[in-house]
Amino acid sequence: MSSTPAPQVRENALPPEFVSRLRQIVPEESFPEILASFERPKRTIFRVNWLKITPDALEEELKSAGLHPIPFPSLEGVFTLPDDERRRLTETPAFYEGRLYIQNPSSMLAPLLLDPQPGESVLDLAAAPGGKTLLLASMMQNRGILSAVEPVTERYHRLRRNLENAGATMVRTYRKDGRGVGRACPLMFDRVLLDAPCSSEAKFSTLRPQSFSYWSLRKVKESQRLQKRLILSAWESLKPGGTLLYSTCSFAPEENEEVVAYLLKKFPESARVVPMKLPIDRWQEGLSRWGKKSFPPSFSSLRRILPDENFDGFFLAKIVKNV
């Protein structure tokens, strides 16, 4: 256990078990800052929709509307703006006509690292509300096959509305349970994104106590059960030589390293974790052990994004299927 004193967060502001686990997961020196990040609102960050406009033209349009967009470092076409301008941003034609999309930069990393190419066949296995699907479609320049799966009716319709608004015409949507997709579409995709349903630990905020009111270790384990079934389905749907990007917005090793380890154990011959080059440096390597479990040396290539006022916590794993 670390000896770093806890920072001044309100007593019992977050579930104590969550906090004590977090302390064991993240680097000791970053723990106080990470804990404090749950107490602060995130900055407003958005990206250009390349299908509709260029970054320069978007910046001009927003400036003409009296806003002050600031290019965000390291990520092309991404901007932030002063906090008191957020509401006005959501009232601009650029926002409601889909020329921009408000998205945390951590969420942009999964599509960027999957790196889909125009003309390829790509699957987004847990897609709503579609922020990552939209980025995939724009990276593919609306060319090729992009299938987006979402089983929850209300979320499925929100996904459809977002895709339509953004002009992501290439996307085929399916209101289906992702667990059955691998069996229905074996060896079909060049790349698969599994941005898995999770306990959403990285979305906790003490400003919104309902964000963690349902959290429990049981919920983490339940999420893991679903994630294991989904990652097997994703794997089955992937062509030999294809790439799977697995991500969650949870810190829990049960939902991250353990799920990747489960896949590797099932497919020791074909599944291989590969390195990722991130455009930012707020990350830590995958854990080498958690409790009694130890993980392979290749897990140093897994990435946990460390949260601050810009970035949400996030977990990323890139896995290639050997030919």
Which residues lie closer than 8 Å to 228 by C-beta, 6 or more apart?
Answer: 259, 262
Least Cβ distance, residue 130 to ligand SAM (angstroms): 5
Q: Which two tokens stand for residue 132?
A: 């990552």
Least Cβ distance, residue 111 to ligand SAM (angstroms): 8
Determine contact, residues 122/147, Cβ cutoff 8 Å: yes
CA-to-CA distance for 13 and 3, rounded, in angstroms? Answer: 20
Q: Which residues are catalytic?
A: 249
Eight-state DSSP code of residue 250: -
Sheet (strand 45-48) strand order: 70-71, 78-80, 45-48, 100-102
CA-to-CA distance for 245 and 234, rounded, in angstroms? Answer: 10
Q: Which is nearer to ligand SAM, 92 or 248 (CB)?
A: 248
The residues binding ligand SAM (CB under 6 A) are 107, 125-132, 149-152, 155, 177-179, 195, 197, 230
Which residues lie closer than 8 Å to 183 by C-beta, 6 or more apart?
Answer: 233, 236
Least Cβ distance, residue 133 to ligand SAM (angstroms): 7
Q: Which is nearer to ligand SAM, 150 or 190 (CB)?
A: 150
In the bound state, the residue with its beta carbon closest to ligand SAM is: 178
Q: Which two tokens stand for residue 97?
A: 């006509």
Least Cβ distance, residue 129 to ligand SAM (angstroms): 5
Instruction: Show the DSSP H helices in 238-319 as ranges.
Output: 257-266
Q: Which of these, 239, 213, 249, 10, lies nearest to 109 by C-alpha position?
A: 249
Q: Which is nearer to ligand SAM, 37 or 107 (CB)?
A: 107
- Could you tell me whether strands 121-124 and 189-195 are parallel, antiparallel, or unpaired per DSSP bridges? parallel
Does a cis peptide bond (omega within 30 degrees of 0) precede residue 7?
no
Q: Which is nearer to ligand SAM, 61 or 177 (CB)?
A: 177
Q: Which is nearer to ligand SAM, 6 or 102 (CB)?
A: 102
DSSP, collapsed to helix, strand or coil, labels residue 165 as helix
| Residue linked to tokens 């499925």 | 156
Q: Which is nearer to ligand SAM, 129 or 144 (CB)?
A: 129
Which amino acid, one-letter code, is at 55? P
Which residues lie closer than 8 Å to 40 by C-beta, 6 or more apart?
Answer: 309
